[in-house]
A and B are shown apart, each in its own frame.
Chain A
Amino acid sequence: MSCGVLAIAEQVNGVFRKVTYEALSEGRVIADGLGCSLSVAVLGSGIKNNSESLGKYGAERILVADDAALEEYMTDTYTNVIAGIVTREKPCVIILGASSRGRDLAARLSARLDAPLAMDCVAVRLDAGNVVVTRPMYGGKILAEIMLEGEPRIIAIRPNSMKIAESQKTGVVEIIVVDKGSTDLKFIEKKLDTGKVELTEADVVVSGGRGMGGPDYSAIEKLAGIFGGAVGASRSAVDEGWRPHSDQVGQTGKVVSPNLYIACGISGAIQHLAGMSSSKVIVAINKDPEAPIFAKADYGIVGDLFEIAPLITEEIKKVKGL
């Protein structure tokens, strides 16, 4: 088996996504298990200086493709460049974050390289040199262990599922010359709210459902804010037009795995549970003592969320000494 693990970094305006560190840390564990080295590919424009920092997550080599044409993520240019790196480096494993961009790239790459792909992995283990991943299927109703056969094995990891570990190693930056190939896609514009905490990466998510009764989410925004967390919503709240589609948690929305998930005025439909039941601790606030969400919550409070949520916010302030 050829060897070497290649992680793919994801950066936006020079800032690495948290899942990049998760992919590197897990990549390090795999590389150690296989007895091989870990490299990381960083694509972008003007990103050389920021890239050095990736060494401390275990990458021996930091391959930087710095090119104005790589400023924005475009499926075709990025696939061309990564495929070029793969041809040269011949990694046996490629690991990256299953973000919207990571999934797009991983899927295209899998077909380009005729390589096995497992999306949204929550665990990876080695079994006699074979790579076995665990990934949820059927909206998390089932966990599958999958063996990947053929190389390179592409592993896209679900954000917030794997530990970040710093390492003693320091990486060496190599500027690489890349072939961008031909491209069809044209970037027009982007509209990003960079101040907003990304739901899938947040340590704390506070979600509001139909029980919010309207678009005023300030009570739970304050609660989320005190943790530096993100605000989510049930599909009913999104359908009402109270929250944008990007806030929807569930089987047809985002899957989140925060340390703490607080469900406010959410009944606990199976499609909602599919999006949050892998959270470490779940708290439910609902005025109906029979609400199904209580059967899945670690802590439940029966009561009016508009009364309870602000009181919790005040209590946490006290505990945190704010």
Chain B
Amino acid sequence: MEVIVLLKQVPSTESFVGISENGLSVKTDDVKWVINPYDEFAVEEALRVKEAHGGSGSVTILSVGTEKAVEAIRTALAMGADKGILISDSAAYNCDGLQTAKILAAAIKSLPFDLIIAGQRAVDGDNYMVGSAVAELLKIPAITMVMKESIADRKITCSRTVEGGMVVIEAPLPALITTQRGLNEPRYASLPGIMKAKKKPLEIKSLKDIGLDSAGTGAPKTKIISLKYPPERKGGRMITGETAADKARALVKALHEEAKIV
């Protein structure tokens, strides 16, 4: 089983993300970089798929990013993935989702694969689109927000989360799936894993190396015109009272009279 994982390096969820002076980009100097949490599930699931198929085939990590993203790929290799490919090109640094998908799809065209696993979203831009877009560009089926999958007879059967429950869908391989929390618990990279990862193949490629020029990715179709912090929530009023019943009464009074919600 040949599995490709689409992996993005993002600021950790607890990082403060500041806005640059120009108001158009974010400051990332003080940020702690991690594997996008949903892509960690993707790495774990890829390893499990490979294991479930007798360990044959390979798990390839594919990422578009700056050279810093090598760290995230190495972590995935330490978890057990076999090889990594980073597309790093200054022409690709400010890509929007659709452009990123075009780059990933172009890179995948020269790779063998049965299954591609992506995150449902990257927690930086929260775009929720690259996985589905890659599948469309490769003309393969995609099942998004998968909580459970199993593969038999060249078919993948997935439980996909939807509002109020679950839908079970089947797709022929090759296919792409995106992850949902609950799919698995990602393993930690072990010390021997980290040592081994240093020797695993990790290629860094330019857009030209994957046969793309700027015409191939097109112009960005989404343009940031301003970034702002959301209005800050100020801590409001502490409801006090002699007894718990007094507090409950005061709260409901406030919700009724001030907030006009009850």
Residues of A within 8 A of B (CB): 12, 17, 72-76, 79, 98-101, 103-104, 106-108, 110-112, 114-120, 132, 135-150, 184-194, 196, 198, 200-201, 245-246, 248, 251-253, 259-260, 270-271, 274, 277-278, 280-283, 294-304, 307-308, 311-312, 314-316, 318-320
- Return A211 CB to nearest CB of chain B, in Å: 15
- In the bound complex, CA of A26 to CA of B144 (Å): 27
A137-B225 CB under 8 A given contacts A108-B135, A185-B169, A278-B230: no
Residue-by-residue, is B241-262 near A (CB-CB < 8 Å gives 1, otherwise 0)? 0001101110110111001011
- In the bound complex, CA of A259 to CA of B259 (Å): 10
- In the bound complex, CA of A141 to CA of B14 (Å): 10
A194-B164 CB under 8 A given contacts A107-B131, A137-B125, A147-B223: yes
Residue-by-residue, is B150-165 near A (CB-CB < 8 Å gives 1, otherwise 0)? 0000000100111111
- In the bound complex, CA of A236 to CA of B254 (Å): 30
Cross-interface CB contact of A188 among B38, B157, B172, cutoff 8 Å:
B157
A198-B124 CB under 8 A given contacts A148-B222, A274-B13: no
- Return B25 CB to nearest CB of chain A, in Å: 10
For the complex, is B141 an interface residue (Cβ under 8 Å from A)?
yes
Q: Cβ of B126 and Cβ of A119 under 8 Å apart?
A: yes
Instruction: Give chain A residues whose Cβ lies under 8 Å from the Cβ of B143.
Output: 75, 185
A299-B126 CB under 8 A given contacts A111-B98, A188-B168, A196-B164: no
- Return B40 CB to nearest CB of chain A, in Å: 10
Instruction: Give chain B residues whose Cβ lies under 8 Å from the Cβ of A315.
Output: 248-249, 251-252
Q: Cβ of B229 and Cβ of A143 under 8 Å apart?
A: yes
Instruction: Give chain A residues whose Cβ lies under 8 Å from the Cβ of B236.
Output: 297-300
Q: Cβ of B218 and Cβ of A277 under 8 Å apart?
A: no
Instruction: Give chain B residues whose Cβ lies under 8 Å from the Cβ of A201.
Output: 163
A interface: dominant SS:
mixed
- Return B192 CB to nearest CB of chain A, in Å: 28
Q: Which of B126, B165, B166, B219 has the largest count of A CB atoms less than 10 A from its CB? A: B126
Q: Cβ of B256 and Cβ of A245 under 8 Å apart?
A: no
Q: Cβ of B252 and Cβ of A316 under 8 Å apart?
A: yes
Query: B5-44: which residues lie under 8 A (CB-CB) from chain A?
Result: 11, 13-14, 16-17, 19, 26, 37-38
B interface: dominant SS:
mixed
Q: Cβ of A186 and Cβ of B171 under 8 Å apart?
A: yes
Instruction: Give chain B residues whose Cβ lies under 8 Å from the Cβ of A297.
Output: 233, 235-236
Instruction: Give chain B residues whose Cβ lies under 8 Å from the Cβ of A295.
Output: 233, 235
For the complex, is B191 an interface residue (Cβ under 8 Å from A)?
no
- Return B76 CB to nearest CB of chain A, in Å: 18
Residues of B within 8 A of A (CB): 11, 13-14, 16-17, 19, 26, 37-38, 96-98, 101, 123-137, 140-145, 147, 157, 160-172, 175, 180-182, 218-230, 233, 235-239, 244-245, 247-249, 251-252, 254-256, 259, 261-262
- Return A26 CB to nearest CB of chain B, in Å: 18
A138-B145 CB under 8 A given contacts A116-B222, A146-B223, A253-B181: no
Given contacts A110-B129, A142-B230, 9 further A-B pairs with CB under 8 A are: A107-B144, A110-B133, A112-B136, A141-B16, A143-B228, A200-B163, A251-B123, A301-B239, A319-B262
Q: Cβ of A299 and Cβ of B222 under 8 Å apart?
A: no
A296-B128 CB under 8 A given contacts A76-B141, A138-B123, A315-B249: no
Cross-interface CB contact of B182 among A245, A301, A303, A316, cutoff 8 Å:
A245
Q: Cβ of A119 and Cβ of B230 under 8 Å apart?
A: no
- In the bound complex, CA of A185 to CA of B135 (Å): 13
Instruction: Give chain A residues whose Cβ lies under 8 Å from the Cβ of B219.
Output: 149
Q: Cβ of A146 and Cβ of B222 under 8 Å apart?
A: yes
- Return B169 CB to nearest CB of chain A, in Å: 5
Cross-interface CB contact of B98 among A73, A117, A308, cutoff 8 Å:
A117
Q: Cβ of B239 and Cβ of A271 under 8 Å apart?
A: no
Q: Cβ of B136 and Cβ of A149 under 8 Å apart?
A: no
Instruction: Give chain A residues whose Cβ lies under 8 Å from the Cβ of B230.
Output: 136, 140-143, 277-278
Instruction: Give chain B residues whose Cβ lies under 8 Å from the Cβ of A280.
Output: 261
Q: Cβ of B141 and Cβ of A320 under 8 Å apart?
A: no
Instruction: Give chain A residues whose Cβ lies under 8 Å from the Cβ of B254.
Output: 299
Q: Cβ of B248 and Cβ of A314 under 8 Å apart?
A: yes
- Return A167 CB to nearest CB of chain B, in Å: 26
- In the bound complex, CA of A211 to CA of B222 (Å): 42
Q: Cβ of B165 and Cβ of A311 under 8 Å apart?
A: no
Instruction: Give chain A residues whose Cβ lies under 8 Å from the Cβ of B164.
Output: 12, 192-194, 196, 198
Q: Cβ of A103 and Cβ of B169 under 8 Å apart?
A: no
A307-B244 CB under 8 A given contacts A100-B162, A274-B13, A294-B238: yes
